[in-house]
Structure 1
């Protein structure tokens, strides 16, 4: 048996929504893609296309992203972090998004509010952390579907929807 196997720390899964303990450090971070709802994306893309068509008739230039690019969704940073409780047990929590590097230091007393993820094989997801050493509440932020689409495309979609509704009212009247 390997010597490393004898002294490997056991990482536990926490079932309670709150974990209080000492910050034990971050693990290697990686990216994960946000899922984008296809039906809603199609509606936004088509209605934005109507506004872009009218804009092209009026000789207004608009940046156009492909449907394939929009369907891919934004990526966000996933950083596994470890918390050691008073009994010395280590729990792994996934942090989605970013926190300032100076927000937590190894050994700080923290309280983490979590929720289970859809995939039960993954560790719980961090919703909010309070650094009890500095009394600083921290909430990581991740991109959403709306931030991925962007305000320009959403504005075009609203204008396109208004034009489509106006045409439908005139046609039905």
Structure 2
């Protein structure tokens, strides 16, 4: 049978660990991560309290404040994009498997014909290939763990710190109200 006209269909791995040889690393593409609205609203509300206090203090110290580099709710709701690289490997029985690597790896980390052992996990969408959690490159002796962005890395340390300050201020206001009411 002609392999160009009728290419071999890859299988999705059933077990969590597969050992085989890298056949092909296809070109990566970006996929958007979804951000849940309640978590985002809670962080932005707390951060707004701290921002409001900061704006009040700055308005007392000088005539006006700039808007700064604040991102809009729509931008934050969209979520970060991360790199998805399809990986094909063939095990010792000759079965071709396809899986996805989410996140970045060093460019020279995997080469065709490398002997690797991968740990995979199925994704929420059953139509997608399983996601690689860990790669042990037996040829080079490297342990590789691809990392994807999280909600906290997407929001950034400044906004997370600002929301923590806002929560602290809200806590102090509530505690002061409770103490004066009793």
| TM-score past 0.5 threshold | yes
Task: Determine the structure 2 residue equivalent to 1:43.
Answer: 42
Q: 1:116 aligns with which of 95, 106, 122?
A: 122
Is contact 2:21-2:116 (8 Å) kept?
Answer: yes
The whole-number CA distance in structure 2 between the counterparts of 1:4 and 1:135 is: 34
Structure-1-length-normalised TM-score: 0.93
Task: Determine the structure 1 residue equivalent to 2:62.
Answer: none
Corresponding pairs, count: 171
Aligned-residue offset at 1:172: 2.6
Gaps of 5+ in 1: none
Aligned residues: CA RMSD: 1.6
The whole-number CA distance in structure 1 between the counterparts of 2:159 and 2:124 is: 30
Provide runs of 4+ in structure 1 moved above 3 Å: 2-5, 60-63
Task: Determine the structure 2 residue equivalent to 1:24.
Answer: 23
Task: Determine the structure 2 residue equivalent to 1:130.
Answer: 136
Gaps of 5+ in 2: 59-64
Distance 1:159-1:3 versus aligned 2 partners, 3 A rule: closer
The whole-number CA distance in structure 1 between the counterparts of 2:3 and 2:26 is: 22
Deviations, residues 57-111 of structure 1 (Å, cap 9, x unaligned): 1117654221111111100001111001112221001000011111111101000
Q: 1:170 aligns with which of 163, 176, 179?
A: 176
Deviations, residues 120-168 of structure 1 (Å, cap 9, x unaligned): 1111100000000111100111111100000000000000011111111
Task: Determine the structure 2 residue equivalent to 1:92.
Answer: 98
Structure with bigger gyration radius: 2
Q: 2:75 aligns with which of 42, 59, 69?
A: 69
Q: Secondary structure at the match of 1:56?
A: helix
Task: Determine the structure 2 residue equivalent to 1:107.
Answer: 113
* Structure 2 counterparts to residues 147-162 of structure 1, below 5 A: 147-162=153-168
The whole-number CA distance in structure 2 between the counterparts of 1:36 and 1:166 is: 29
Q: Secondary structure at the match of 2:168?
A: helix
The whole-number CA distance in structure 1 between the counterparts of 2:71 and 2:106 is: 31
Q: Secondary structure at the match of 1:12?
A: coil
Structure-2-length-normalised TM-score: 0.89
Distance 1:3-1:123 versus aligned 2 partners, 3 A rule: closer
